[in-house]
Amino acid sequence: MEFETVAVATRITARISLVLFAFAFVAETIKFGRNHYSLVWGSFVLAHIVHMICVVAYFIVLGEPPELTPALGTLVAGLVALGWIATDLIRKRIASASRMMPTVCSWYLWFLFCMAHVSRLLDPERGSWINVPLLIVAFGSGVVRIVLLRRAPQP
């Protein structure tokens, strides 16, 4: 496998994962059927698993272990979050709960996505123009979620 192909696949799967997360993060504030929550969060989890596989392939093709950088910390935090989400989705799928994701987990992931793009923008070697709209998507999903939650009728 060629290094550049794996690098491009890793970036594309990260971007798809972000968009699916933003959709699930916002959609959870809208009242519709429980199966829809499973579908949107499940799509994000699947995309993120594919992204993690691409990240592993990236370092295998690179032939070097990852450097101990803040990006590696974000990757480890992302793996923890992915395990948390997968476990929670399975548990909630078995029990009948209306919300698919605990609030703290959702905001934790939102924070990780925002920080990943902020860190890229602050690093001239890794950052590029695409990180600006991706940061807007990540940050904007939090703003939209807050607005929707504030407008929702309180039980």
Per-residue pLDDT of 18-53, as tens digits, reads 999 999 999 888 876 656 777 888 888 889 889 989
Length of the chain: 155
Number of structural domains the chain divides into: 1
Q: How far apart are CA 8 and CA 54, in angstroms?
A: 9
Per-residue pLDDT of 131-145, as tens digits, reads 899 999 999 999 999
Place of tokens 């950052």: 127
Place of tokens 């594919």: 50
Residue 37: CB atoms within 10 A of its CB come to 22
* Global model pTM greater than 0.75: yes
Q: What residues make up the domain containing 119? A: 3-151
Q: How far apart are CA 153 and CA 27, in angstroms?
A: 16
Per-residue pLDDT of 72-120, as tens digits, reads 777 777 777 777 777 776 666 555 555 556 677 788 889 989 988 888 8
